[in-house]
Structure 1
């Protein structure tokens, strides 16, 4: 999780050749998706047109730099109408008033927080009366240019710490698990197992995965196949959980 201010101004480095592509000028927000879709670039050579990097092309956001695979990740916004439209909407979030759908003004946004892997906006830090609280983006109805609209009961979901935001947004890559003793119809079980295979297939095990008898079922470094995942499923839910927690792309 990163503050927007931790991303703005960072150098953008091309991993391929080690060159600095430029600096992050601004975060381009997609208000419909509640995400940062592009990072615009500040560079002395980019005076005529606006250049940007799609967030999905970002390899990593560290303390000192944003990294991309190569300079080919840079696009000209004038050539991408949708991206250009998002820039022109000028959604900034920080220093924006927060109002409920019924028109009650509840505070002002001090900062917002972004998932550095997906670009999703996890939530915001608000100044409410004489204190600061955090609010998950789950309560947001509309990210507007002048006002952020939230649900009527948003105040009941205030968090005391921004660190709590990371636990409020469900991970889209969560592996579904069939619990021991859970009674499900055959088709539902098949659907859950198929979903597990979809999410794990092609990923690499980062440790040895043992079967119920303590024998190595999947060795560290093994790229998972459908057959291996099915073997883990046959061993039971606890083995699937262990596997899902110890894989990498």
Structure 2
């Protein structure tokens, strides 16, 4: 799960092409579904048209970058009416008023939390007088341009910790399954490894210590990719941007 502000500004990396496509300019909210459906792209060469990536095309959202399989994930919103309509609705959530369905002003939304696997909005951070509270998305009736309309008794459903959002998002499975199921981070790493495996490295990749971790010309194996992932996001992104094949 990520805050919206943790996603905006991240570089977008094409794993197959080893290039930075641009950076995340904004999150496009679908008010009917209560989800982030697209990430718009900031790129100095794209001043006229609005480019975006469908959230379902995102492989992973890390602390350093958003990764996609290749440049084909990028779409022109002007050519897709439904997507363009969502952008024009300008649903921003942050800094909008939070009001009950009977018109009581509850506070102001300061942040929202996104499931980085599905794009679903998990909850919002609400400034209430001198305090801040978290409200689960199930309490939200309407995502509007200027106002979020919530259930009448929403104030009785505030939670204190973001961890409560995480626990609610977990499927109800038996304990044995939970012990053996890979976590979200492991799933992302596996996807990234599959896309890079067999590619040729085009320059020496240095580890955190400065010593060569993966030599120029190496044909990447799962072990090589794991080494880069374990070194941290900056080393892994350096690897993805310097491969061919």
TM > 0.5 between the two? Answer: yes
For each residue in 1:92-130, what CA deviation from the matched residue of structure 2 results, as whole angstroms up to 9, or x when unmatched?
A: 000000000000000001110000000000001110011
Runs of 5+ consecutive residues of structure 1 not aligned to the other structure = 178-240
For each residue in 1:145-204, what CA deviation from the matched residue of structure 2 results, as whole angstroms up to 9, or x when unmatched?
A: 010000001001001122322123464xx55x7xxxxxxxxxxxxxxxxxxxxxxxxxxx
Residue 242 of structure 1 is matched in structure 2 by 176
Residue 153 of structure 2 is matched in structure 1 by 153
Q: Take 2:154 and 2:131, find their aligned partners in 1: how far apart are those partners?
A: 16
Higher relative CO (Cα under 8 Å, sequence separation at least 6) belongs to 2
Closer/same/farther in 2, CA of residues 87 and 73 from structure 1, 3 Å limit: same
For each residue in 1:69-95, what CA deviation from the matched residue of structure 2 results, as whole angstroms up to 9, or x when unmatched?
A: 000000000111110000000000000
| Offset, 1:17 | 1.9
Residue 131 of structure 1 is matched in structure 2 by 131
| Residue 83 in structure 1 maps to residue 17 in structure 2 | no
Number of residues of Structure 1 aligned to a counterpart in Structure 2: 183
Q: Take 1:245 and 1:103, find their aligned partners in 2: how far apart are those partners?
A: 46
Residue 95 of structure 1 is matched in structure 2 by 95
For each residue in 1:187-231, what CA deviation from the matched residue of structure 2 results, as whole angstroms up to 9, or x when unmatched?
A: xxxxxxxxxxxxxxxxxxxxxxxxxxxxxxxxxxxxxxxxxxxxx
What is the DSSP-based 3-state SS (H/G/I as helix, E as strand, rest coil) of the residue aligned with 1:168? helix
| Offset, 1:142 | 0.3
| Offset, 1:50 | 0.4
For each residue in 1:53-78, what CA deviation from the matched residue of structure 2 results, as whole angstroms up to 9, or x when unmatched?
A: 00000000000100000000000001
Whichever of the two has the greater Rg, that structure is 1
Q: Take 1:153 and 1:167, find their aligned partners in 2: how far apart are those partners?
A: 22
Q: Take 1:21 and 1:148, find their aligned partners in 2: how far apart are those partners?
A: 33
Q: When the two structures are superposed, what TM-score results if normalisation uses the length of structure 2?
A: 0.71
Q: When the two structures are superposed, what TM-score results if normalisation uses the length of structure 1?
A: 0.70
Q: Take 2:178 and 2:80, find their aligned partners in 1: how far apart are those partners?
A: 37
